[in-house]
Structure 1
Amino acid sequence: MPPESLSPYTSPGSKLPVISLFSGAGGLDLAVDRVADAPLSSPSVPSVGPFRVAVATDYAPQALQTLALNFPETVTVAGDIRDISTPELLRAGSLAVGDAAIVVGGPPCTPFSKSGFWLAEKRESRDPNASLLEEYVRIIAQARPEAFVLENVQALTYKTHQGHFQQLLAALSELGYNPQWKTLLAADYGVPQLRKRVFIVGRRDGKAFQFPEPTHGGPSETTRTWDRTKLSHVTAEQAFTGLVTSPESGELVEGKYGELTAEIPGGQNYLWHTSRYGGRDEFKWRSRYWTFLLRLAPDKPSSTLQAQPGPYVGPFHWENLPNEVGDLRARRLRVPELLRLMTFPDNFQIVGSRADIQRQLGNAVPLALGQAVLRALALQLGYIDAETDSDDRLVQSTSSAVLIS
């Protein structure tokens, strides 16, 4: 249990240190920083919470620049995690073994992502980057944090990758952390996105972590019935409420499929232009990926944002705009809209081009999802007062589902 002086929240100078691995744009770092915020809120200035990210690491210079803009007090270590020793990481954060309250991180998901299954090495789980899971375990074993949170794509749990997955759980169990895992749907925690991710959480004291109950409910690809006493899933239109955006260079969908995309209604994809629907008979049934020419449905959460979409991979906005010659064209989502779909604060800054920004956000953990998991962990570890948490949940249950910026 934490010292009495640290409950419910520590003072800024005595916050508990957190180590962030594979930090990327900082989705889990944001969740650490904002664990004390009331659910469904994303204020410009976060509430004072019990944790601070003492040190973060990533191999991508752009990601570290993004982190530096948003977390200026966090020390960053650049480089491949396989070349960074645990003592080096601890020294950078001014930490000793056992000091860290939590280690957070999502090893790059490309070895396990369905989007890479066209490569034989992905399908057969032979990607050398899968060893990054072992690096995560190495740092847990050597840094001995009080707890850890590991996030990855749902496909890590699939039969194809069972060897990697079971080895990971066994290694964490041998360290005494009693890892618990669960696949969570982001929309069930207030994220306007139908994004599934697996979370693995363990505690050094061996007590089993209890995952947070969903706060929202609604239909999804695999859900037809849900608890209607919960808040409804946040829709894309609700997420964009009050958002003022400006046109961005290259946002219109032109080229070979530009005209076809503009004719597709919101919520539909290339299947609109098959013999079974109301568009042109241009494609064979189920001949493309679901996200091909996909338009966002205003009355539903978004599909998963892609980190590296091709020019005709959605979701695209449901509205059409005229191009230079007056022809209507669909448009890509603007950066402020991407931030809303990830429940990141409106004032979050990301380094790079439009493609760089989408890559960083597409690889990130949505803030509200990471916040739900870390909030539950902080509560169970005693770093958030249970009475305070109950008060926040009461606020949540009576509030609008529209995100506050």
Structure 2
Amino acid sequence: MALLSNKKQGFISLFSGSGGLDLGLETAGLHPLLSVEVDNICQETLKLNKPKIKLSSEGDIFNISSSQIMKEAKVKRGELALLAGGPPCQPFSKSSYWANPNNSRMDDPRANCLIEFMRVANDLLPQVILIENVTGIGYSNKNDGLNFIFSEFKKINERNSTNFKPVIETLNTADFGVPQVRKRIFIIACRDGEEFKFPEPRFKSDDSDNAKLPNYRTAWDAIGDLDSDIYQNDLKLKGKWADLLPSIPEGKNYLWHTEKMGGLPLFGWRTRYWSFLLKLAKHKPSWTITASPGPATGPLHWKNRYLSVRELARLQTYPDTYKFFGSYREQHKQIGNSVPPAIGELLGLEIRRQVFKRQVRRSLRLIPKAREASCQTVKTSDVPGKYLDLIANHQEHPGVGKGPGAVKAVK
């Protein structure tokens, strides 16, 4: 089959979400042709920011044919420059692995989104394919997620005489100027056999000995100018643990109050999720923004409150002009599920440079600049008396696959 070339460097995104990856790719100079997204709230966010956006008539990937996708994007088979997306990743999440490490992830019905992505890839045969997912897709006991993807690329090549060579890399977004430590797997495959080379880190942590690189962008760089008391009432912490947070130092979580750290032994070591009572440190990048906010789920502000939507968006490198539809919880979920736009920009520029042979800039427009103003650490307070009855000789978590959730699942 004679494959066509696309001079416009257009892309189709599947599982577009609130548009983080799309925004980054477009900032890099690629042209959005079609977005396929099933969630109504995300659709409204996409339309809110781009009133003329081309959304697929059927957002459910299970109900739309590849021929319909090509028709709506106005491309023929083999003509598309880039197919990109991050299929929903619940079967490969850290929490799923921690509870049930021996289960096959591909046997989970929620993994069918990955199957559908590869179905569309086979039918469209784009010049480049970009897949984003959680790191768990690469460390399950059978490595079944990655094995499936590589197996599908092999089948695509056999059916169509193509030469896709998928290259996989785990990127820490902080290494590229995103003010957030967020590790995700990216797979990029070029149809003509070119092996994509992922960019080297451009920033370093404080304890790195690489003097040539600037330090990580920090939470203070991203949201220091929003450090105001005007949010005090709207974003006040709620629930059972609200009054305990002020006793935890910046950059720490509930583990501070265990026998192994400097607080009181109120909890057992690793008996709760890492994000429980997790507080930002001004001089470091944020911890990973999650998609499931809870009463005591971090990262939380160093002033002992929830982060505002704008603060969350900045930590993900969305520009201030970008808006999100829905309630606070719905907006938080969209941001937490996003690919940071700056990473989309980074990879989009590299795809244009390596694959499409264009001269492109190296700098990223979506990362924050270093903030020169100094910042003081917020002092901690004493543990309120109502929590003192929790002081005890607590047991540690027994290990992967041995916690209460895993035991309950087995029964």
Relative to the length of structure 2, the TM-score reads 0.81
Map of 1:82 onto structure 2: 62
- Determine the C-alpha separation between the residues in 2 that align with 1:60 and 1:138: 21
1:246-302, Cα deviation, whole Å (9 max, x unpaired)? 527652113211111121111111122223444333212222222111111111111
**Of 284, 287, 303, which aligns to 1:300?**
284
In the TM superposition, what are the counterparts of 1:277-292 in structure 2 within 5 Å? 277-292=261-276
Deviations 1:112-138 (A, max 9, x none): 111334665995423211121121111
TM-fit CA distance, 1:68? 1.3
> Which residue among 77, 99, 114 is the counterpart of 2:79?
99
Alpha-carbon distance in 1 for matches of 2:350, 2:168: 14
Q: Secondary structure at the match of 1:242?
A: helix
Gapped regions of structure 2 (runs ≥ 5): 158-162, 373-411
Partner of 2:217: 234
Amino acid at match of 1:150: I
Matched, 1:22 2:22: no
CA distance in 2, matches of 1:341, 1:160: 32
Q: 1:237 to 1:93 in 2, by over 3 A?
A: same
Aligned to 2:123: 142
Retained in 2: the 8 A contact 1:25–1:63? yes
Match of 1:111 in 2: 91
Per-residue CA deviations over 1:335-383 (Å, capped at 9, x if unaligned) read 1111110011111011111110111111110111221112111111235
Alignment CA distance shift 1:89-1:162 (3 Å): same
Distance 1:305 1:122, change over 3 A: farther
1:38 matched to which residue of 2? Answer: none
1:285-341 CA distance string (max 9 Å, x none): 22222211111111111111110132111110001xxxxxxxxxx201111111110
Moved more, 202-211 or 283-292: 283-292
Larger strand proportion, structure 1 or 2? Answer: 1
SS of 2:292 mapped into structure 1:
coil
Distance 1:248 1:198 in 2: 37
Alignment of 1:113-192 (within 5 A): 113-117=93-97, 120=100, 123-125=103-105, 126-174=107-155, 175=157, 176-192=163-179
Instruction: Trace 1:1-400 onto structure 2 (pairs within 5 A).
Output: 15-35=8-28, 49=29, 51-77=30-56, 78-117=58-97, 120=100, 123-125=103-105, 126-174=107-155, 175=157, 176-218=163-205, 225=208, 227-243=210-226, 246-247=230-231, 250-319=234-303, 330-382=304-356, 384-385=358-359, 388-389=360-361, 392=363, 400=369
Distance 2:80 2:22 in 1: 14
The letter for the 2-side match of 1:213 is E
User: 2:248 & 2:227 partners in 1: Cα distance?
Assistant: 24
Amino acid at match of 1:360: Q
Root-mean-square deviation (Å) = 2.7
> Which portions of structure 1, spanning 4 or more consecutive aligned residues, are displaced by more than 4 angstroms?
118-123
TM-score, normalising length from structure 1?
A: 0.82
- What runs of 5+ residues in structure 1 fail to find an aligned partner? 7-14, 36-48, 320-329
Identity of aligned residues (%): 36
Larger of the two Rg values belongs to structure: 2
Distance 1:121 1:255, change over 3 A: same
